[in-house]
Amino acid sequence: MTENDFKAKSYTNFPESGKVGWKAPSNIALVKYWGKKANQIPANPSISFTLDACATTTQVSFSRKEIDSDDFSFELLFEGKPKEDFKPKIQTFLERIEPYLPFLKKYHFAIETSNSFPHSSGIASSASGMSALALCFLSIEHKIQHMEADFFTKKASFLARLGSGSACRSIEGDLVQWGKYEGIEGSSDLYGVRCPYEVHPIFKNYHDTILLVHKGQKQVSSTVGHNLMHNHPYAEKRFEQAHTNLDKLKPILAEGNLEAFMEVVESEALTLHAMMMTSMPYFILMMPDTLEIINKLWAFRRATKTPICFTLDAGANVHVLYPDSVKEKAIQFIQDELVAHCENGHYICDQIGTGAKKFFEE
Ligand code: DP6
């Protein structure tokens, strides 16, 4: 499919008003997206676990403008209160998606949104936030013009990508792959697809405990970090490596080879941060407690042979991944040894989930 396939045919029937609501999950990448081309096209393919507990719930009420105008009209409530500083991001998102949703300037939108996790937790809310919003706008288009379920899912992911790259992996469940990759037929730079690999049951109920090492604002945004991959001395090798790691994951996921899984996932996390440390300007997002956690986790794994590993996103927080079969042991270890390294002792227990859900439509 091409970008043009997502352009709507001309509309005839505009509802006066209505309301739609979606709850969309976050995700954690196993093979990381880091580096992009124009129009939110990723420099390399990535794959992620969809997370269940870290979600954004968004409702959009829409009403026909009394007088047509050439601007976007919206108001925004975040956790029940007006939130001016979110508005520029939404304005940019509307500008990017308008060619594909040409009804947007005909309506006034009242957007109400909230997260299941604290905004100041340092957890990226852009994936769940942008996918929930994309789904709401697309549901409004669906009321104007019918579309098939498969097309709806693809277009939702396509629109979410224009808000935040990783958001395109937050529409469907379990394992989602985004970016053109030879090993998956139908994979695309334009949207995420549910991983068609055979997946061993050990990965079905995987857990992710997110250790909140630093809850403040990141010093360097992901968008700035992605751009530093242009002219990065190791960029081409890194982009190639993402393909190789996806190749490696295919049999690992099918056979449930946890040793090999942990190796790929941890190597990806450290490579992501190595790219940050070797870009110009260089920066470090890990903190002393991030490294303490990693070292303690490795020592525990060596000593107990428990299949528990870590991954990182673009921040200091650590995602601790483990299968359901070692849940009690892992949580005990986290509470005894790792929570002391979290800001105010805060952490979030999450697990691989089923994807976004519509909860309201009128
Ligand atoms: C490190 O999707 O937040 O989490 O497209 O600029 O919004 P933008 O970036 P974003 O980048 C996520 C980077 C990452 C890795 C990943 O999720 O694959």
What DSSP state is assigned to residue 73?
E
Structure tokens at 286: 């890990």
Percent of the chain with pLDDT over 90: 89
pLDDT band at 219 (very low <50, low <70, confident <90, very high): confident
Instruction: Confirm if 175 and 49 have CB atoms less than 8 A apart.
Output: yes
Alpha-carbon span 197 to 194, nearest angstrom: 9
Neighbouring CB atoms inside 10 A of 355's CB total: 19
Q: What's the mean per-residue pLDDT of the chain?
A: 95
> For 59-82, what is each residue's pLDDT tens digit?
999 999 999 899 999 999 999 999
Q: What is the DSSP-derived secondary structure letter of residue 75?
A: E
Q: Record the tokens describing residue 5, joined without a space.
A: 């396939």
CB of 312 within 6 A of ligand 1: the answer is: no
Q: Is 226 in the pocket of ligand 1 (CB under 6 A)?
A: yes
CA–CA distance, 58 with 132 (Å, rounded to integer) = 6
Task: DSSP letter for 112, please.
Answer: E
Does position 261 have pLDDT exceeding 80, yes or no?
Answer: yes
Superfamily (CATH) of domain 206-351 = GHMP kinase, C-terminal domain (3.30.70.890)
Mean pLDDT computed over 258-283: 98
Are 228 and 284 in contact, with CB atoms under 8 Å apart?
A: no
Number of C-alpha atoms within 13 angstroms, CB side, residue 88?
1
pLDDT digits (tens, 9 = 90+) for 187-218: 999 999 999 988 999 998 999 999 999 877 77
Q: Which residue has the tokens 């030879």?
A: 182
Residue 11 has pLDDT above 90, yes or no: no
Decide whether any atom of ligand 1 lies within 6 Å of the 124 Cβ.
yes
Whether residue 149 contacts residue 240, with contact meaning beta carbons closer than 8 Å, is answered with no
Determine the pLDDT at residue 124. 61
Q: What is the pLDDT of residue 262?
A: 98
Q: Cβ(223) to ligand 1 under 6 A? A: yes
Considering the segment(s) 3-197+357-361 as one domain, its CATH architecture is 2-Layer Sandwich (3.30)
Strand partners of residue 209? 320, 349
Q: Which atom of ligand 1 is nearest to the CA of 126?
A: 3
| CB 126 near ligand 1, within 6 Å | yes
The three-point CA angle 136-190-123 to 5° equals 60
3-state helix, strand, coil in the chain (%, to 5): 45, 25, 35
Q: Tens digit of pLDDT for each residue in 114-169?
A: 999 876 666 667 999 999 999 999 999 999 999 999 999 999 999 999 999 999 99
Contact 45, 242 (CB under 8 A): yes
Instruction: Give mean pLDDT, residues 265-272.
Output: 98
| Span 169-184, average pLDDT | 97
Cα–Cα distance measured from residue 165 to residue 324, given in angstroms and rounded to the nearest whole number: 29
Token pair listed for 317: 């927080």
DSSP state of 316: S
Task: Looking at the CA of residue 40, tell me the nearest atom of ligand 1.
Answer: 5
For the stretch 322-361, pLDDT in tens is 999 999 999 999 999 999 999 988 999 999 999 999 999 9
Angstrom distance (rounded) from CA 238 to CA 242: 6
Task: Pinpoint the residues of the chain covered by CATH 3.30.230.10.
Answer: 3-197+357-361
Cis peptide bond prior to 118, omega within 30° of 0: no
Protein residue closest via CA to atom 6 of ligand 1: 223
Interatomic CA distance for residues 146 and 277, integer angstroms: 48
User: What is the predicted pLDDT for the residue at 116?
Assistant: 92
Confidence at residue 283, expressed as pLDDT on a 0 to 100 scale: 96
In the predicted model, is pLDDT for residue 179 greater than 90? Answer: yes
Looking at the DSSP assignment, which residues form a beta bridge with residue 47? 31, 177
| DSSP run (H or E) holding 322 | strand 318-322
